[in-house]
Amino acid sequence: MKTLPETMFVCFNSVGRYYRAGLFGIVLFLASVFVPGCPQPPVDPPIDTTQPNADAGKDRQVMAGQRVSLNARKNIGDNFTYEWSRTSGPEITLTNGNSPNANFIAQTTGTYQVQLAVRLGELEDTDSVTIVTLPQSSDSIPVAAAGADRIVPSNVTVELDGRASFDPGGGELTYSWRQIEGPAVALSGANTARPTFTSPVVTDSVTLAFELFVQNPGGYNAVDTVTITVALGATMQHNLAVRIVGGGTVIPNQGAFNDETQVELTAAPNAGWRFSRWEGDLESLNNPASIIMNDNTFITAVFVSDGFTLQVLTAGQGSVELNPPGGIYQPLAEVTLTPVPANELWKFDRWEGDLTESENPVTITMDEDKIITAFFISTNQVSSPSFNPPSFTVFQNSLNVTISTATPGAAIYYTINEDRDPTQSDLLFTTPILLTGNTTIRARAFLEGLTPSAVTTANYLTMEVPGGVTIKAK
């Protein structure tokens, strides 16, 4: 055995860690030996149980309509009282305003000043926090994710995990953790995404709570909290967090799982997207895919889009300009369609297909593959008739239908349930048409000296609906 010099100090920290060898699990505990001159990990200053100590947290920004969590550093002891109150800014309704953890909804933009008062008998200490509320459309606010609440054994190294936090603008976040409840522990790496601490030795159970504060390069920030329950003889639990890139969902996307639990992840793409791969602590192309939870786990599910196809056809002489140009668009992209007649002898008349209106130009949202036809008519041709209500309206009992054309003075002739084009020998539209059953109407407009319009068709269906509701079919 090697003998250490008498002048050498041996420093140990009280830490319990899991070590695995094959199928056997070994827990090694290092004894606590505090020797003068040995460095000790930093610990938050102990709370004086005879004096109130108010800590309302860091100032921050939120979006209008967002629920704001107010987390006080909980004083140790049962005789302390807490009171949150608004001291300036828009009116708010505080929930749990007499507890360490209150909240309110920031309904309007502005600057809110909220004060925390901690009292013990006639003794009082106060602190304030400022909340700046930005418009809902703001993409400046980062998202803080402190992980799932977990249960852990006593006297082991516990890692907090804020890696699921992100900045919508893609900026790098800074992290700041603080303990807000339970016996004080030493947080190592409190300014990182993954700080650690040693769970206290317990004879039963104790609750620790921590607040994560993240800030992006623009100075905007957000908070989240996590609760760690330390229980004697408990099985270690690990945090699972999944970040989504692209359009889709993952089940499960978060949670706390016992050590060595196998978790199956299933990715479901949104319309217009497809699953590509897993990244991070799981690198795989499989879907579903499984992972063994032997540590905190952060996974990114990547979805990619092949886009939606927009096919534009024309009838008559003309073209359609697309802005932005192309023909394949990302999901929910907005595209403006502008019809361009070939020359002065032609004019735009209407859209048909997946767009049934005459607006010019028109903007559509690409939420599926679309086929749209732009109809151009001769400038000496009567405009096509239109129906109100539109084709494919479903009705109960009866329905009145009117027909109109944009050409002044034109006469509209129509047929009912006949598979042929109307002529001037057919019914002349003068008053609303009363429908009492399934009906197909074909209409054409005429005006002396001009070319008759194109034939337009409308279909109407009856349906028995309780309460006499009229339904528009798509």
Percent of the chain exceeding pLDDT 90 equals 61
Domain end residue (candidates: 87, 110, 134): 134
| 368-425 tens-digit pLDDT | 889 999 999 888 899 899 999 999 999 999 999 999 998 889 999 999 999 999 999 9
48 within some domain:
no
Name the nearest CA neighbour of 159 among 126, 198, 105, 122.
Answer: 198
Q: What phi-psi label fits residue 326: left (phi over 0), alpha (psi between -120 and 50 degrees) or beta?
A: left
**Does residue 268 fall inside a structural domain?**
yes
pLDDT digits (tens, 9 = 90+) for 426-455: 999 999 999 999 999 999 999 998 999 999
- Domain holding 31, by residue range, is 9-40
Q: What's the residue count for the chain?
A: 474
- Assess whether 399 and 465 both reside in one domain: yes
**Domain-located, residue 312:** yes
pLDDT at 332 over 50: yes
Q: Please indicate, yes or no, if residue 244 is contained in any of the structural domains.
A: yes
Please give the pLDDT value at position 83. Answer: 94
134/141 Cα distance (integer angstroms): 9
Same domain flag for 253 and 229: no
CATH code of 425's domain: 2.60.40
Shared domain for 226 and 254, answered yes or no, is: no
* CA dihedral sign, ordered 273, 279, 285, 287: negative
Domain termination site, one of 252, 287, 305: 305
User: HSE-up of 173 (CA within 13 Å, CB side)?
Assistant: 30
Spatial neighbors of 244 by CB under 8 A, at least 6 apart, are 250, 253, 300, 301, 303
Considering the domain architecture, whether residues 160 and 220 belong to the same structural domain is answered as yes
Is residue 55 a part of any domain in this protein?
A: no
> What pLDDT score was predicted for residue 28?
37
Mean pLDDT of 4-31: 37
- Average pLDDT of the chain? 85
pLDDT band at residue 48, thresholds of 50, 70 and 90? low
Burial 184-202 (b: 16+ CB within 10 A, else e): bbbbeebebbbbbbbbeeb
Tens digits of residue pLDDT in 108-165: 889 999 999 999 988 999 999 999 988 866 667 889 999 999 999 999 999 999 999 9
Domain boundary, last residue among 281, 305, 329:
305
For residues 97 and 120, membership in a common domain is answered with yes
Domain count, the chain: 6
Model pTM greater than 0.85? Answer: no
31 in a structural domain = yes
- Tell me the β-bridge partners of 274: 304
